């Protein structure tokens, strides 16, 4: 009897409790395909006596809905057929995992860290300041005369004028010197890493932003000899024992006397190569004794205190260390470049 069969299968379906996606598939094959039970019961229904058809038709339709509903529910639980979903349900540990790549520190961060570590051992603290500066901290307090060309639009990104005061992106980290000295009392012994901006056309050798580390030491009786010895030590630590240094007279508004420091070429060791333009020397930083005007501008008695300052571009130091010849590589974020610096895991 059709009705008995429906009752029996209804019980079976109600008790159906799949454990794997294979069970779900077997259910479909048994009940729902064109030669399955649901279809065959509909075939039988055609032959049923006419007076039973009304009641039986409803029972059969309910049964069909039950079978389809159960299948849909089971499918949601296990996904459709196939290897991957089966693995998902059962947690197949033999499937290959999703790969992921480890990040690496940016070469500029690596070198900045190295520079900071060397000076920390000499008792320098790390100080930082804002990248958006006013005229006072970037220029005036640092003894730049009002008509100095560095204030010119060609070098500086000006943001807006406020009450006649220019607001600009700092052109060097020397502005942090001023902030540090204004905020405290000597002695000062600090290094100041940070990003700086200059209005220059971007090429292999120049960029509109780069990174500097500035150093400042102010105390009683600080001399040029202290400056030389500190920087000599720094170079030995960074580029290795035996690296030679030389100082050439130079000019900065905020130091007097001023100098530029060269080191023996790290590539050819002084023999002459393309990098050092066959001179055997490469310039790495500017330095000098803090101009007494700067000390006074920051409220420090220049008859009692003296100091030295130096500033270097981190890109330049990094180029010499890793022989990088195009500044643009530092900001392009090309992983083929960055992956070469997997020196430590973050």
Annotated binding site: 256
Q: Which stretch binds ligand PHE (CB under 6 A): 4-12, 13-21, 40-48, 283-291?
A: 283-291
| Stretch 173-202 residues interacting with ligand PHE (CB under 6 A) | 174
Which residue's beta carbon is nearest to the bound ligand PHE?
A: 311
Question: Least separation, in Å, of the C-beta of 187 and ligand PHE?
Answer: 17
> Rounded to an integer, what distance in angstroms lies between the CA atom of residue 263 and that of residue 102?
35
Residue 309 binding ligand PHE, by CB under 6 A: yes
Give percent helix, percent strand, percent coil of the chain, each to the nearest 5: 45, 20, 35
Residue 345 burial by Cβ neighbours in a 10 Å radius (0-12, 13-18, 19+): exposed
Is the CB of 166 or the CB of 214 nearer to ligand PHE? Answer: 214
Q: Minimum Å distance from CB 180 to ligand PHE? A: 13
**Nearest C-alpha neighbor of 208 from the set 318, 110, 328, 337:** 328
Q: Residue 191's closest CA among 206, 169, 167, 211?
A: 211
* C-alpha to C-alpha distances, 109 to 182, 253, 257, nearest whole angstrom: 28, 29, 31
> Binder to ligand PHE among 134, 214, 262, 291 (CB under 6 A)?
214
Query: Total residues contacting ligand PHE (rule CB under 6 A)?
Result: 11
In whole angstroms, what is the distance from residue 165 CA to residue 134 CA? Answer: 7
Q: Smallest distance from the beta carbon of 199 to ligand PHE, in angstroms? A: 14
Q: Which of 287, 294, 314, 317 binds ligand PHE (CB under 6 A)?
A: 287
- Where do contacts with ligand PHE occur on this chain (CB under 6 A)? 172, 174, 214, 252, 255, 286-288, 309-311
């Amino acid at each position: 009897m059709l009705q008995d069969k429906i009752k029996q299968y209804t019980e079976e379906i109600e008790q159906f409790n799949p454990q794997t996606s294979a069970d779900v598939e077997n259910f479909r094959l048994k009940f729902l395909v064109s030669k399955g039970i649901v279809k065959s019961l509909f075939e039988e229904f055609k032959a049923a006596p006419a007076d039973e058809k009304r009641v039986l038709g409803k029972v059969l339709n309910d049964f069909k809905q039950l079978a389809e509903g159960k299948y849909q529910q089971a499918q949601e639980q296990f996904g459709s057929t196939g290897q991957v979903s089966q693995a998902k349900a059962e947690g197949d540990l033999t499937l290959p995992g999703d790969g992921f790549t480890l990040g690496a520190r940016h070469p500029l961060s690596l070198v900045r860290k190295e520079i900071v570590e060397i000076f920390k051992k000499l008792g320098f603290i790390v100080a930082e300041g804002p990248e958006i500066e006013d005229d006072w901290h970037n220029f005036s307090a640092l003894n730049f005369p009002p008509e100095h060309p560095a204030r010119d639009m060609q070098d500086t990104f000006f943001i807006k004028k406020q009450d006649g005061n220019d607001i600009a992106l700092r052109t060097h980290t020397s502005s942090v010197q001023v902030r540090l000295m204004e905020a405290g009392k000597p002695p000062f012994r600090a290094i100041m890493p940070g990003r700086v901006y200059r209005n220059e056309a971007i090429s292999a050798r120049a960029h509109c932003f780069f990174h500097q580390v500035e150093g400042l030491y102010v105390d009683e009786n600080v001399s040029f000899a202290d400056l030389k010895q500190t920087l000599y030590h720094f170079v030995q630590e960074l580029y290795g024992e035996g690296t030679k240094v030389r100082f050439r007279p130079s000019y900065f508004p905020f130091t007097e006397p001023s100098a530029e420091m060269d080191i023996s070429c790290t590539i050819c060791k002084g023999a002459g190569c393309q990098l050092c333009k066959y001179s055997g020397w490469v310039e790495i930083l500017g330095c000098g004794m803090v101009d007494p005007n700067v000390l006074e501008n920051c409220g420090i008695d220049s008859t009692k205190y003296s100091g030295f300052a130096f500033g270097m571009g981190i890109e330049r130091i990094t180029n010499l260390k890793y022989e990088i010849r195009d500044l643009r590589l530092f900001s392009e974020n090309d992983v083929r470049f960055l992956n070469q610096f997997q020196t430590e895991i973050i």
